[in-house]
Every structure is written in structure tokens, then in C-alpha cells.
């Protein structure tokens, strides 16, 4: 099986939670940071007594793993399951940005608002290369690849790639979508 076929088998809809699983004694700051965010969000849905004691603990865990990993991912982020952060250093995500399931973010990725306050929406199974920026109300479709150091300011249809500064959309051989 070649790499392109393997990548197309990753779902853009159903989260693969095994991608976020932490090893028992493995040093995985990105996965630990995601775990602390998931725990916080779970505690917030519990009864008041659990929230009173659970929130401070999960907030401390989140702050610890944020410092260790060097990433700025807010506790209330809307992140689909199966997110991979192999090198979380410098990752910055706007609190209102939405990330679909089974995405991959490398180091120094920024998902941020523009001057009008528009927020990006990332689809399912999107791979974002190191140093890439997705700014403003850009809508990124499913199964998209964004190249390293690209600055995405416009929508990217499903199945396409985006590269360059500012990013230009490159259709797959069969076309985007």
C-alpha cells in the first residue's frame, strides 16, 4: 500500500482516538497536553461537586503541559478527536478556532483571527506543515495538505493542497473536492 492510499483511508468524519493515546512511560508532551484539555472539558460536564475539585487540578495539569510542550492551546478549544502534535513547540490555536477529527499539526503552526475577527475552520484529516499559518475566516476542507511555512488566507477545497506565501491552492491530479 502506498502512502497516498494509506492517507486516504484516514477518516475525515470519525475520530481515531488511538492517535491521542499516551504511552505509560513515554515522554509525549503533545499527547499529555491534549489529555489535559480533554480531562478539563470532561470535568466541566460533571456535577458541581466534581467541577469544584476537578477543575483546579485539570487547569494545573494544562498549565504544566503547556509550558513543557511550548504550545498555546486554550482549554475550551473545539478540537476533534485524533489530533496529532508530534512536535507541539510553538503551536498557537485561537480559542474559537475549530479543528476537525484526525488532523496533524507540526511545530510553529498558528490558527488565528484576522483584523475583522474572522476565525478559521479546519476540516477533517488536514495535515498542516511546520510554520504554516491559517489566518482569518479560511475554511479548510477535508483531506487537505498545507505546506510548511504557507500562509493561508483563503478557503481550500477538500482534497487539495495549499503552499506558498500567500498560499495558492493546488488541486490533486483528479481535481479538488
pLDDT of residue 104: 96
Task: Tell me the per-residue pLDDT of 28-53, one tens digit each, with 9 for 90 and over.
Answer: 999 999 999 999 999 999 999 898 99
Measuring CA to CA, which residue among 38, 117, 114 is closest to residue 77?
A: 38
Query: Which pLDDT score, from 0 to 100, does residue 25 have?
Result: 79
Which pLDDT belongs to residue 5? 52
Does 103 lie in the same domain as 37? no
State the residue range of the domain holding 34: 25-69
CATH of the domain at 85: 2.160.10.10
Distance, CA of 108 to CA of 154 (rounded, Å): 20
Q: Which has the closest alpha carbon to 147: 129, 173, 167?
A: 129
| Mean pLDDT per 10-residue interval, the chain, length 177 residues | 58 88 85 94 93 93 96 95 94 96 96 95 96 96 96 95 94 71
In a domain, 126, yes or no: yes
Q: What is the pTM of this model?
A: 0.88
Residues 106 and 144 in one domain: yes
Q: How far apart are CA 7 and CA 89, in angstroms?
A: 24
Q: Quick one: 159 and 103 in the same domain?
A: yes
pLDDT of residue 174: 65
What pLDDT is attached to residue 11? 87
Instruction: Kindly state whether residues 59 and 94 are assigned to the same domain.
Output: no
Number of domains the chain contains: 2
Amino acid at each position: 500500500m502506498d502512502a497516498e492510499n494509506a492517507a486516504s483511508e484516514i477518516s475525515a468524519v470519525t475520530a481515531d482516538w488511538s492517535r491521542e493515546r499516551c504511552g505509560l512511560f513515554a515522554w509525549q508532551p503533545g499527547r499529555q497536553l491534549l489529555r489535559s484539555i480533554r480531562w478539563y472539558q470532561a470535568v466541566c460536564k460533571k456535577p458541581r461537586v466534581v467541577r469544584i475539585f476537578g477543575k483546579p487540578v485539570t487547569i494545573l495539569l494544562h498549565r504544566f503541559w503547556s509550558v513543557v510542550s511550548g504550545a498555546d492551546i486554550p482549554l475550551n478549544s473545539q478540537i476533534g478527536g485524533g489530533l496529532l502534535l508530534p512536535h507541539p513547540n510553538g503551536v498557537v490555536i485561537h480559542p474559537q478556532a475549530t479543528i476537525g477529527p484526525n488532523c496533524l499539526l507540526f511545530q510553529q503552526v498558528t490558527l488565528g483571527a484576522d483584523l475583522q475577527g474572522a476565525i478559521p475552520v479546519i476540516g477533517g484529516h488536514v495535515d498542516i506543515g511546520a510554520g504554516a499559518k491559517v489566518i482569518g475566516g479560511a475554511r479548510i476542507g477535508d483531506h487537505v495538505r498545507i505546506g510548511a511555512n504557507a500562509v493561508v488566507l483563503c478557503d481550500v477545497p477538500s482534497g487539495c493542497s495549499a503552499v506558498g506565501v500567500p498560499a495558492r491552492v493546488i488541486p490533486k491530479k483528479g481535481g479538488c473536492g
